[in-house]
A and B are shown apart, each in its own frame.
Chain A
């Protein structure tokens, strides 16, 4: 029983579905293509084509504020990804392989950052920091400010949940007797983790990390609430520019951001597929032998 035979009986239906899917794909990609095309637009009018040029790219590279926003974005993304991946992986391990009191409460708490609307999360973090600064100021005499640190702390908050969910899914599919076998073969807890568990959940860990990295680089709402002057990230900077008035430099910046993300995604997919394709090829060779 194949799926194909279930569908082929309705040839007309298949054609309609195919056409519909084409339209959806065009819908997905058109804005991206339009944006990239217009980033090379020579004129100042954002949406009227006036010939091709690289001037906006050149202007972008000379924009100090933009460059510093880019730098901030990268710092925030890298730090928050590292921390949330470590915390998320540890949490996934704890929830899947151990039983302790308060487990179910933690489980529930973990899903909240994903379900809560982002505006609420942003407001929560803002109010929390301001209140905390108030107390710190009263205790030590110097009041901290909203900065990169507050952004990083907020990003970690929602990223832990994402990483945990991804790693947990991977862990749940792992045969628990593998870890028992490792122990039976004289491995300590840590050795069993490092030599058996970790390599096997690594795709999940990396997937979670990639997700966290993307969420962090992309984030606008929460970041705009908790960033102070001098600690803007790239998306928030672009957002500010757009609201003030649209200039063509934004097109160039956007196009580059798009291409960068796509490059990131493609390379990670290639790495995964390369690994599994090579493995599949090797397996075929061996089975013939």
Chain B
């Protein structure tokens, strides 16, 4: 040391330095209290789109609920059958209601009351004319006369509004209270002008943790009557005498004087009528239940592009119309569809619906398939989702199981060549701010609406803390990085979010001064142990590139941080930017791209499965967003990912063999050569190929919702708080 100095001065200087930082704490706490005022919450898993014998599912809703919240452990569940009508008495259940061995995660029944030997191979189906496959007409005390509304079929079908209002709700509430989990009723709407949407009107329902007096699903039933395309009943809900008018609506479409609802949909003579009716339905939700309703288009790429004279898909302008009508109700889409084990993953395909008799009579799913199990609207960087996020919209990503059946397998068998159970393969992880209270349906709906959620498949990850923080310019960079990373790690360990002033998480916006640095921190957990895959042989997709990894023990390979600029809402009058099919300017955000890739070389791995990482966005000048995706597949995995890590079309992966023709119509790509590869794999010339459920278990992804970054002198991010 060449100089001497006074400790007194040194002391004061350090004190000043430390003191200033302390002082700033007080200042900032008053300037941005958002994070510190958020009630504590945790991410909870659930599913809101699935089917039972109340519509076209294969098992009773009781069994479906049992599978979902018991076998596969979901924290919450929305039983959401189609609208329309159904002939089966879906208050009945399988008899005996007991799974067979082997069954997915279920204990056997050796302790009774039903000896295993009494079970049929594959488990109890809902047998013809038994259990829930008996008709309403044959089982209701009042018989046919008890089935209300229009209808002449034999047996007479019950309109879903009556099922929901008089029968299904009670069973669901009983299940919820007995199992002490929030379980309630929604409807997969046959959406006028389009195909399907997951919808909910919770108001009136009283699932657990509510107790005492029973609730009702009257408003959900009324919504179904008023706005489901397949509900052509004109009875106004019999004694309900519903009127479907919407207060203050600007719609010029007249309500039927008899049915008191807009009848009809898109057709050659009524172009766009159905779409307008759907928008009216969203407005109706906003009027009746503004904080406990949602409208989420389902598998929206599957039916192809929108047609004004038919009921097909959704273009980006329709999503904008919905969101403009009620952003707190139409706030996202299920772009990671169900049916993940089906022959054409997600049931997405070119020329969908064609047959030998009508080989050109089908229509192309948008994108001609899913991409890593996700539709092109979300899977394509710079596509529809990024276009919506680029406006600063509240538009979030969800997954659903869309469970109907297990194809050629029984309901208790572990294999599937059609669907996975809710929670078995896909999950929505939703922030529920329940504090010290029990988890409630309202808290979950708030979480869905907030965008503070992520979704994924195959339990690739089960925890995520994703946060963007304005860098404190007065703190050493390395220290600030460590602080934010540790905060993310702590949050992930608690299955919670980061609550620090000056930081924002999924669905939120961080408002920063021009030129601010932003630190993005991510902590995920790659869970130790096995997922629900019944297969432990090596992943065939990874085997191609020399990686031996059991299908039931996937490992997160990398995470992409995807970002894009926010340029503000597009006006409906700016047609070129507002309306268009996938690939057009209206459905694109050219600024979107992969901003950072994290993998084992640049994240910190801990023994408990956490992967912690961060990066700094320097000197932000424009409003923007960042979102995440991750997968078990490295970039350039043949037939799975491209050189940039983007998922490839799943439709192309699986061979298609038409028994009537000598040659395979679609060749196989990824050989499933392991001796344990199951017999139901698609086989061409004696060679098994990865397909169906194996292809799904081999190709896992997760998607986060975005964190917005708003720069004060740039575009305001309207859709996030």
A binds B: no
Interface residues, chain A, CB within 8 Å of chain B? none
Interface residues, chain B, CB within 8 Å of chain A? none
